[in-house]
Structure 1
Amino acid sequence: MTQTRFTVLDDTRGHPDLAGQISAILHRVAPTVKEITDLPLPSEGVRFRLLRPKAWREEYRQNLHRVLARDIADLDLSPKQIDAARTGLKITGFVPALVWPMVLASTQKAADGQCETVIAPRALHHGGALADERVLLQVVAHELVHHLQDEARSGTVWKTFFPQQREILAPPRSVSTVLEGHATWADRQVTTRLFGTSADHRQARKSWRYRLHSSLPGIGRLGPSREGYEQGAQLIGHATAAHGVGLVNRIWKDLSLLPTTDEIADPQAWTLRIKQGSLHA
């Protein structure tokens, strides 16, 4: 039985039952997530926070500003680079208003530096997660995996506006493919073990608002694609089936092992490179 502290804060002050449900799920799935991924649970605990949609959208924006602030503090950036990044944030400031009903949960660094999952209960409603216990458990397990990934990275920065300066030589989609693919692979393993078959939140009944937002032109380009999740899950699934989770877990501390574009489509080639310990050319 894990000793990790699980905290679920209800900043909406209107969903105490949901907060309790999520807390119970965390305690239920944590041992299985830990076993399947062979990653340690966070030493400082796991925190989930329920927010109203407006507060969730603001937190989404503030997280990006914190990412940029960290880049500015850590990297030797020119004023031109900083201005361009700030302009980009202003231009994309409308994104949270478009995507929030479709984002069931998001895990990121909070203002106090702790890894945190933020959830708008209304988004869970729009995505059908509140009407299906299996789907809600899948969502919670998926986000918990992100907490374990963050712990395993031990401070290595993966989210940045300047990947080359962070020595992330892989293509931009590589990071999301690995992070989301690994979490997707794991949540399917967890739900299969608990329910006999894997849960799939995409099959849950969606609200009219969810369908409206998902039909907006270009909406699919504002985040990781469904194809990216699937390719990532296949990538991780192939590596673990062939060589075990220990091989995959090498990537958390070695950015050079992130897959290239060709390797995302060829899991065997990526697995072979990790096994050999070779670096990007």
Structure 2
Amino acid sequence: MNITVRHDAGRRFDDLAQRVEAVAAETAPLVEAVTGLVLPDRVVIRTMSPRAWLKAHQRRSARLLRAEARELRAPRRRRRQAKVQHYTQCNGRHRIWPLIGAQVVDFRPGRFELVILPQSMREAGRLNDQAVLTKVICHELTHIAQHATDHGAMWRLQDSYYPELRGIAERDYGFLVEGHAYWADRQITTKLLGAPVSLKEINPHATHRYRDLAANPHRTEMLEYFTRAVDSVEEIVTTHGLDAFNKVWHRPDLVPTRDEASTPIGWMQRFG
């Protein structure tokens, strides 16, 4: 496997870029071993500035908006609604970027990369936290493996502006992909560090801006959501086995519904 780190976030983050490369090389084989999924032959990790990240997201969202409207021949009224959603998302990213330390995204069509925002990690007080960096890379490499397994189909559906036209409005893809990634990073950090790494507590070195954003009640709701998701994945893997769980990447009917994300027992039982 070839891991390429493209460092575009500026010289002040050179040390982080070097550490990213070392951690990725160490954890990539563990991601495959723990998840039973295979990473692509080439993995690209890119550091970016918030400004470049925001511009790239705006271009990507606009591209997806146009392409999906054409593909589905969306009615004019729905196109207007989708445009409003697009602008709302763009505005939201401008506000919450300090909360996003890393993500997997295809800024170029079909080319999924692990993008790291060093400035966001600094805002969170986590820039020099090696344990957190290990967790983040394990988590995002798991997303890369998810993409490679189904050629990004799950994530394209998750990003759809027209879920009702695709017949997926009741599916909760985030519960699946994030629950699985948090489960994997918990397993791997326990193997490497002796215990899972938690991000629930706000670092005392976080900036005031980060603290203000993290104080939003929505963060508490999301933490509870992710806890249900990771516990559900662990229960399925423990009860039914990893091979049974991994059928979800090729069987859309196994993706949890929104109701099951609130009460996961129904989702877990569908793997029996």
Superposition TM-score, scaled by structure 1 size: 0.86
Contact 2:57 / 2:107 at 8 angstroms: preserved in 1?
no
* Bigger Cα displacement from structure 2, 202-211 vs 234-243: 202-211
* Bigger Cα displacement from structure 2, 185-194 vs 92-101: 92-101
Contact 2:112 / 2:144 at 8 angstroms: preserved in 1?
yes
Q: Is 1:215 paired with 2:212? A: no
Q: Is 1:131 paired with 2:152? A: no
User: Residue 39 of structure 1 aligns with which residue?
Assistant: 37
Q: Is 1:199 paired with 2:213? A: no
Contact 1:57 / 1:96 at 8 angstroms: preserved in 2?
yes
Question: Residue type of the partner of 1:86?
Answer: K
Contact 2:125 / 2:207 at 8 angstroms: preserved in 1?
yes
Question: Residue type of the partner of 2:48?
Answer: L
Cα deviation code 1:76-131 (max 9, x no counterpart): 32232222211222244321121111111121112242011222211011223223
1:154 counterpart (132, 147, 151): 151
Contact 2:139 / 2:181 at 8 angstroms: preserved in 1?
yes
Q: Is 1:113 paired with 2:110? A: yes
Could you list the structure 1 runs, at least 4 aligned residues long, displaced by more than 4 angstroms after superposition. Answer: 218-221
- In the aligned structure 1, how far is the partner of 2:56 from the partner of 2:114? 11
Question: Residue type of the partner of 1:229?
Answer: F
User: Do the aligned partners of residues 259 and 56 (structure 1) sit closer, same or farther apart at CA in structure 2, a change above 3 Å counting?
Assistant: same
The aligned runs of 1:27-176 (5 Å cut-off) are 27-43=25-41, 45-156=42-153, 157-158=156-157, 159-171=159-171, 174-176=172-174
Contact 1:5 / 1:46 at 8 angstroms: preserved in 2?
yes
- In the aligned structure 2, how far is the partner of 1:63 from the partner of 1:220? 26
User: Do the aligned partners of residues 212 and 271 (structure 1) sit closer, same or farther apart at CA in structure 2, a change above 3 Å counting?
Assistant: closer
User: Residue 247 of structure 2 aligns with which residue?
Assistant: 250
How far apart are 1:13 and its partner, in Å?
3.2
Question: Residue type of the partner of 1:270?
Answer: W
Q: Which SS does the other structure have where 2:271 is aligned?
A: helix
How far apart are 1:68 and its partner, in Å?
1.9
- In the aligned structure 2, how far is the partner of 1:252 from the partner of 1:164? 21
- In the aligned structure 2, how far is the partner of 1:112 from the partner of 1:76? 21
Contact 1:108 / 1:116 at 8 angstroms: preserved in 2?
yes
User: Residue 237 of structure 1 aligns with which residue?
Assistant: 234
Superposition TM-score, scaled by structure 2 size: 0.89
Gaps of 5+ in 2: none
Q: Which SS does the other structure have where 2:164 is aligned?
A: coil
- In the aligned structure 2, how far is the partner of 1:226 from the partner of 1:37? 22
Gaps of 5+ in 1: 276-281
Contact 1:106 / 1:118 at 8 angstroms: preserved in 2?
yes
Contact 2:65 / 2:86 at 8 angstroms: preserved in 1?
no
Sequence identity (%): 28
How far apart are 1:150 and its partner, in Å?
0.8
Contact 2:240 / 2:271 at 8 angstroms: preserved in 1?
no
Cα deviation code 1:192-223 (max 9, x no counterpart): 0001100112336122221022235x7649xx
- In the aligned structure 2, how far is the partner of 1:177 from the partner of 1:255? 14
Question: Residue type of the partner of 1:213?
Answer: L
- In the aligned structure 2, how far is the partner of 1:108 from the partner of 1:73? 22
Question: Residue type of the partner of 2:37?
Answer: L
* Bigger Cα displacement from structure 2, 10-19 vs 49-58: 10-19
- In the aligned structure 2, how far is the partner of 1:266 from the partner of 1:245? 22
* Bigger Cα displacement from structure 2, 181-190 vs 255-264: 255-264
Q: Which SS does the other structure have where 1:165 is aligned?
A: helix
User: Do the aligned partners of residues 227 and 61 (structure 1) sit closer, same or farther apart at CA in structure 2, a change above 3 Å counting?
Assistant: farther
Cα deviation code 1:156-193 (max 9, x no counterpart): 2322111233332534xx11111111100110000000
Cα deviation code 1:23-50 (max 9, x no counterpart): 111110011110110001124x211211
